[in-house]
Amino acid sequence: MGKEKNPRRVADNEAMAKLRMLRTSPQKLNLVAGLIRGKKVDKALNDLTFSKKRISEDVKKCLQSAIANAENNHGLDVDELIVAEAYVGKNLVMKRGRPRARGRFGKIMKPFSEITIKVRQVEEQA
């Protein structure tokens, strides 16, 4: 009687995780996402662990979530996973300001962003 099951948003050999409302600009977050694109997941985790960027800790959490989704929900082998896609999107912008000279008002934009990470299982060539 219930509803039909939703179709999968990713392929059978893929899993994804999404992290929203990250308190950084999309431009800065994209620098960290570019650091891990196309790499094996263990190498990507190492790169994020030793990165000096503040937001890399949150990106690491998202990557670990994608790996856990692949292992637990889709039965994929963790040792054969690569970061297939890592893309960044805009989210809301908090608008703040401060008074300036001659009665003016300086706008301060505080942007938020979101990141989506897809991992894919690839068989190693012997």
Domain-embedded: residue 4: no
Domain-embedded: residue 79: yes
Among candidates 27, 124, 119, which has minimal Cα distance to 64?
119
CB atoms within 10 A of CB 90: 12
Question: Are the C-beta atoms of 115 and 33 separated by less than 8 Å?
Answer: yes
Sheet holding 105-121: strands in order across?
14-22, 105-121, 81-99
Kindly report the pTM of this predicted structure.
0.90
Domain-embedded: residue 65: yes
Domain-embedded: residue 7: no
Burial (CB < 10 A; 0-12, 13-18, 19+), residue 67, is buried
Q: How far apart are the first and last CA of the chain?
A: 49
121 beta partners? 81
Q: What is the pLDDT along the chain (126 residues), one digit of tens a residue?
A: 789 988 888 899 999 999 999 999 999 999 999 999 999 999 999 999 999 999 999 999 999 999 999 999 999 999 999 999 999 999 999 999 999 999 999 999 999 999 999 999 998 765
Secondary structure string (H, E, C) spanning 60-99: HHHHHHHHHHHHHHCCCCHHHEEEEEEEEEEEEEEEEEEE
Range of the domain at 75: 14-121
Domain-embedded: residue 1: no
